[in-house]
Structure 1
Amino acid sequence: MNSAQHAANLEPEVGNLGVMSWLSRHQPLPSANESWLGPLLMVERIGMFPSSGDIRRPLPDPYPLLAHLKQLYAEQALEIDDHDGLKVIFSDWRFRVRICCNDPAIIINVETRCDLQLMPLRTAQLLSQLDRFEQMAS
């Protein structure tokens, strides 16, 4: 079984944390008698950027939300990229909102830079902004 197949088999069990796509692009896992630092490096990498994983939210028209979030966070952001959804980068955290191709929904992912406590706070903050926007729109 190659690493892409292994990642595909694992993803339904653990959810999409962004790790599976990383695994699918790298060498297969070693056998039990081989020495390899891969798992150690992967754990270290996950610790460097704690992630919320993909949070899926139904949303009939995501484009007004993307414009709202872009305007809301523009002054604080170091970088904003709206080529494929919306990616906003700050000094200690970042988020990405992607639009689902096959149904009216968005996928949100929040990552922090080496800060496990900040990640759930920023995730809650972003989801709260989404809830407020949905209430204003209805």
Structure 2
Amino acid sequence: MNTSKLLIERIGLFPSSGNIHVEVSNSSRVVEHMQVLYADNSLDSNESGAGLSMVFADWRFKLKVSDALSVCLCVESRGDSQFMQVKTAELLANIGRTQGRS
């Protein structure tokens, strides 16, 4: 099996939003808010000065702190591209709410 076919199969197994850069007023506040918001349903999480990673049964996300005024979001699901898109929209909306936007 060639490399490109393996890559396509792998992408299908774990659809990803790719890196989405979001300007925020306070990246630390966003990370804290997201951790509190999603902690109850998380199977595993890791918070550091570099950001937050959370794993759930069918999906996961990483929120990297780029600097004090921006974060980078990446969402992956287990084989469900539409579910990944729904979770990406949900996370972006929650980031917006942290900033006082809906």
Give the secondary structure class of the aligned counterpart of 1:82. Answer: strand
Residue 3 (structure 2) pairs with residue 41 (structure 1): no
Match of 1:65 among 30, 36, 52: 30
Corresponding position of 1:125: 90
Corresponding position of 1:115: 80
Query: CA offsets, 1:76-132, max 9 Å, x none?
Result: 00000113300010010111100115x731100011010111011000000111111
Q: What TM-score results when the alignment is normalised by the length of structure 2?
A: 0.91
Corresponding position of 1:90: 56
CA–CA distance in structure 2, aligned partners of residues 65 and 128 of structure 1: 12
- How big is the shift at 1:59? 1.7
Give the secondary structure class of the aligned counterpart of 2:81. Answer: coil
Corresponding position of 2:66: 100
Q: Spell out the pairing of 1:13-28 with structure 2 (5 A cutoff).
A: none
Q: What TM-score results when the alignment is normalised by the length of structure 1?
A: 0.68
| Amino acid paired to 1:118 | F
CA–CA distance in structure 2, aligned partners of residues 82 and 62 of structure 1: 13
Greater strand proportion: 2
Gaps of 5+ in 1: 1-35
Using CA pairs under 8 Å that are at least 6 residues apart, name the structure with larger relative contact order, 1 or 2.
Answer: 2
| Amino acid paired to 1:73 | Y
Task: State which structure, 1 or 2, has the greater radius of gyration over its C-alpha atoms.
Answer: 1
Query: CA offsets, 1:52-97, max 9 Å, x none?
Result: 1111011232111111110111110000011330001001011110
TM-align CA RMSD: 1.5
List, as ranges, runs of 4+ consecutive aligned residues in structure 1 with deviation greater than 6 Å. none
Residue 46 (structure 2) pairs with residue 75 (structure 1): no
Gaps of 5+ in 2: none
